[in-house]
Amino acid sequence: MILEEKIYFWLLLAIPVIVVLFLGLSFWRFRAQRKFATVEMLKHLIPDRSWFKPILKLVTICVAIVFIVIALVNPKAGTKLETVDREGVDIVFAVDISKSMLAEDIAPNRLQKSQQLVTQIINNLASDRIGLIAYAGSAVPQLPITTDYGSAKMFLQALNTDLVSSQGTAIAEAIQLAESYYSDDSQASKVLVIISDGEDHEGEAISMAEDAADEGVRIITIGVGTEKGGTIPVKRNGITQSFKKDNEGNTVITKLNTETLKEIADAGNGVYIDGTITANAIEELQDDLSGIDKVAFESQQYADFASQFQWFLGIGLFFLVLELFYTNRKTGWIKKLNLFNE
């Protein structure tokens, strides 16, 4: 499903405005009537007036607005699934989500910078397949190899430092998990992009990178942070309460470990990229990827997208017309049933 004109969703703000106006008008009318008669007297003066019908009219109008707005957005759905030939490489992104990635020595913080980097990289890809891994003290799979860039960006934005309970930087485990992502049947080139500050790395990352390189995996590391370092804020409701301290009560200063990331990249037949400036990092990565042989592979995707707005427009107009038939008088047969105790 594709939403063509998402800007029209702003028109839904008309619904709360209409509700507020309705409540204000109802309150004003009630106060005005009370100046001339009590509630019991009003029931005798206007016995056929329905107190439920105005609410029903309001709900009907709001439902009509929802469907008309959806029609304006013009949702499109694929009418058939077809197999297409694509050419590219298999790229797995391994994103560090350890607590040190919350340091704000690079704006807005290291983790959000990493998310921005990967998002921009994905936006600049053409037909490559991508996967996603998150890691801290251990590595956890997020998204298998796919051509669905939209899902990849959705999973990417959901990353946070609470996804993995154990702390550390298990780059070795992330490399090992990434190797399981690549299909043995695929001839596509294998690329692993590790985004990290490289601090507190655990395990045999260098030897694991060499083993992965022997299996044809090219490892590219992107460093996020500064060598000067920064503190790790402890926040509550978005407000910094304190800064992370070590066992001796000293404020922790976390620094970018470029040497480790460079060693991993060298062991993995790849390159190290400074992620400080997003545009430069993307350009360097694209230059490196351009030198990798691309392999043709088949991929299934929906095609022949057709507009579906007419269904929503029809339903919206139906509710608008329906609202015209509502009056403020009680309905005869419903009045006899007295469903609403009117």
* pLDDT tens digits, 281-319: 999 999 998 888 777 665 555 555 677 888 899 999 999
Beta-sheet strand order (sheet of 190-196) = 139-146, 129-135, 90-96, 190-196, 217-223, 272-274
- Cβ contacts of residue 277 below 8 Å, gap of 6+? none
Q: What is the pLDDT of residue 318?
A: 93
Domain ranges across the chain: 2-74+308-337, 84-299
Q: What angle do CA 133, 281, 268 make, to 5 degrees?
A: 55
Which H or E run includes 135? strand 129-135
Q: How many residues does the chain have?
A: 342
Bridge partners of 299? 84
Q: What is the pLDDT of residue 235?
A: 82
Judge contact between 163 and 134, C-beta under 8 A: yes
* Block residue for tokens 């008669």: 37
Judge contact between 182 and 219, C-beta under 8 A: no
Compute, in degrees rounded to 10, the torsion defined by CA atoms 302, 124, 95, 160.
Answer: -70
Which H or E run includes 152? helix 149-157
Q: What is the pLDDT of residue 83?
A: 58
With a cut of 70, which residues of the chain have pLDDT below it? 1-2, 33-51, 78-86, 200-203, 296-305, 328-342
HSE toward the beta carbon, residue 25, CA cutoff 13 A: 9
The CATH code for residues 84-299 is 3.40.50.410
* CA gap 235, 218 in Å, rounded: 37
Q: What is the pLDDT of residue 252?
A: 86
DSSP β-ladder status, 272-274 and 217-223: parallel
Q: What is the pLDDT of residue 333?
A: 45
Environment class of 332 (CB within 10 Å of its CB; exposed 0-12, middle 13-18, buried 19+): exposed
In eight-state DSSP terms, residue 153 is H
